[in-house]
Amino acid sequence: MREIIFDTETTGFDPLSGDRLVEMGCIELVNRVPTGATYHCYYNPQRSMPAAAQAVHGLSEQFLSDKPLFADRVEELLEFLGDSNLVAHNARFDFGFLNHELGRCGRPEISLDRMVDTVVMARAAHPGAKHSLDALCSRYGIDRSHRVKHGALLDAELLAQVYIELTGGRQIGLGLAETDISVDSAPADSVSVETVTSRPQRPPRIFTPLSEELERHRLFVQSLNDPLWGSEAARTEPV
């Protein structure tokens, strides 16, 4: 199963008010394991960069001025995405910008049926807890010390690790669910099966206490102060 973990950086919060996509980072997973294949690109937004947005991701208008337009790189992006499910943190935000940019260059939008939102998954797994990417990295012991500012590819790499934890952790890579070892299907020399009925029955072991052990037990019981299992009269009787 192929999935794409992705993240975006933008000039703001609302593409309908003129904000644009400025960075895209993608990580390929196959069977929830990173393959090493990535996609990363900066885009010229053809507009100014608000100071608040630049403080988050550090991408200045000057830095982006010589970068390609989204339309110039859309084909290679779509080729990388393919028809795989797309995983993002607060995915509607990222899908909103991605689909807006696709619409600007005359490409069909990506269906929300392909959307996997890790915020929704985290809320279900950890109700009442913090669900930011930083909080989830702390919860799962994922090193984010190199994350000084937000970056699309860096955040996608961190999110890939979080997503793996949210979906069962590294155990999923063992393929245990796909393995079906049975007497009928396994090769004769690959598995040894011993049923309980084939084992020889062992006679029960009888342990008889020694007389001195019984005497020690009787004295111990007599020394108990008001035991729960008997009355005063019963306690004085020989054991």
Examine the domain organization and report whether 63 and 167 are in the same domain: yes
Ranges of residues in the chain whose predicted pLDDT is under 50: 173-197, 235, 239
Residue 200 lies in a domain: no
Q: Which range of residues forms the domain containing residue 30?
A: 2-175
Q: Edge-to-edge, what's the strand order for the sheet holding 115-117?
A: 33-42, 21-30, 2-10, 85-88, 115-117
- Provide the domain count of the chain: 2
- Identify the domain boundary among 123, 152, 175: 175
User: How confident is the model at residue 187, as a pLDDT?
Assistant: 43
Asked if residue 49 lies in contact with residue 59, where contact means CB atoms within 8 angstroms, the answer is yes
Task: Give the per-residue pLDDT at 186.
Answer: 44
Residues 60 and 121 in one domain: yes
Do 27 and 140 fall within a single domain?
A: yes
* Residue that is written with structure tokens 């269906």 in the block: 111
Model confidence over 40-55: pLDDT tens digits?
A: 999 999 999 999 999 9
Active site residues: 150
Residue 96: predicted pLDDT = 97
The predicted pLDDT at position 191 comes to 39
Q: Is position 120 within any domain?
A: yes
Residue 195 within any structural domain of the chain: no
Characterize the bridge pairing of strands 115-117 and 2-10.
unpaired
Q: Do residue 210 and residue 171 come from a single domain? A: no
CATH number for position 37: 3.30.420.10
pLDDT at 230: 64
- How many other CB atoms are there within 10 angstroms of residue 53's CB atom? 20
The whole-angstrom separation of Cα 141 and Cα 127 is: 19
Q: Are 48 and 112 found together in one domain?
A: yes
215 and 168 within one domain: no
